[in-house]
């Protein structure tokens, strides 16, 4: 398994450290050439979504990334990454990747609660530590989108087929379960199909079948 980590801006090193702890192979994506390398999953880190979106455009990477995710490449997007995936950003005409049928609100916890820590469920995982830093929330989700975490009555993590997005930063705590959940999306495929060659030509349809367990 090889995970690509988008490394244009933000907290990518922390994700790499978690992947090291889990014994996963990874490489950094800083260019269109890097993006074209074979990978089994991709992480979009936290940071500043406006900067990341601009760099993706400036480096000519946005369309390729969008196509890969649209074709089913498993993606774990944290915080700013979640904003990049959103089909709609509240009070903003900007759409970056727009691959996830959700509306997000940036900096949704306001100045008072700019940064805070909470504990809550993430899907079936109980008592996950969640680090929020000027975090967004989901204000609307499409019918096929599964909410995974709710904090203060706000949806802060969700999954849409191959796309997992969290408003919090799982890479900033010692708890590796959110990453393991993400890795299980493509590990499961290998277990069931057992062929990397097949994996790389997998269609979105196959992914959909794969991850509806």
Of the candidates 170, 119, 177, 156, the one whose C-alpha atom is nearest the C-alpha of residue 11 is: 170
Q: Under the criterion CB under 6 A, does residue 100 sit at the interface with ligand GLN?
A: no
**Of 7, 44, 61, 79, the one binding ligand GLN by CB under 6 A:** 79
100 φ, ψ to 5°?
Answer: -115, 125
Residue 58's CB is within 10 A of a number of other CB atoms, namely: 10
Q: Which of residues 136-155 bind ligand GLN (CB under 6 A)?
A: none
Q: Is residue 79 annotated as a catalytic residue, yes or no?
A: yes
Choosing from 15, 96, 169, 179, which is the catalytic residue?
A: 169
Q: Which of residues 104-123 bind ligand GLN (CB under 6 A)?
A: 106-107
**Of 42, 61, 130, 133, the one binding ligand GLN by CB under 6 A:** 133
Containing 6, the helix (H) or strand (E) segment is: strand 2-6
Of the candidates 99, 24, 30, the one whose C-alpha atom is nearest the C-alpha of residue 63 is: 99
Q: Find the part of the chain contacting ligand GLN (CB under 6 A) among 40-48, 153-161, 170-178, 196-204.
A: 40-48
CB 211 within 8 A of CB 51: no
Min separation Cβ 179 and ligand GLN, Å: 17
CB 98 within 8 A of CB 66: yes
**Of 29, 35, 65, 80, the one binding ligand GLN by CB under 6 A:** 80
Min separation Cβ 9 and ligand GLN, Å: 10
Q: Is residue 16 annotated as a catalytic residue, yes or no?
A: no
Residue 71's CB is within 10 A of a number of other CB atoms, namely: 13
d(CA 113, CA 12): 23
Q: Find the part of the chain contacting ligand GLN (CB under 6 A) among 20-28, 77-85, 95-103, 202-210.
A: 77-85
Cite the active site residues: 79, 169, 171
* Chain contacts with ligand GLN (rule: CB under 6 A): 46-49, 79-80, 83, 106-107, 133-134
């Amino acid at each position: 398994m090889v995970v690509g980590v988008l490394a244009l801006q933000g907290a990518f090193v922390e994700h790499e450290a978690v992947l090291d702890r889990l014994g996963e192979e990874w490489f950094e994506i800083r260019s269109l050439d890097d993006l074209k390398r074979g990978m089994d999953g991709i992480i979009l880190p936290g940071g500043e979504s406006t900067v990341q979106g601009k760099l993706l455009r400036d480096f000519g990477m946005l369309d390729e990334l969008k196509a890969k995710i649209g074709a089913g490449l498993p993606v774990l997007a944290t915080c700013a990454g979640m904003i990049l995936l959103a089909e709609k950003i509240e009070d903003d005409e900007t759409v970056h990747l727009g691959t996830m049928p959700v509306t997000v609100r940036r900096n949704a916890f306001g100045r008072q609660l700019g940064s805070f820590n909470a504990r809550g469920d993430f899907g079936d995982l109980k008592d996950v530590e969640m680090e929020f830093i000027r975090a967004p929330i989901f204000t609307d989700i499409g019918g096929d989108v599964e909410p995974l975490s709710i904090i203060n009555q706000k949806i802060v993590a969700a999954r849409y087929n191959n796309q997992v997005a969290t408003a919090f930063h799982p890479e900033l705590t010692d708890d590796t379960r959110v990453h393991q959940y993400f890795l299980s999306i493509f590990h499961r495929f290998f277990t069931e199909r057992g062929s990397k060659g097949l994996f790389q030509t997998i269609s979105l349809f196959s992914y959909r079948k794969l991850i509806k367990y």
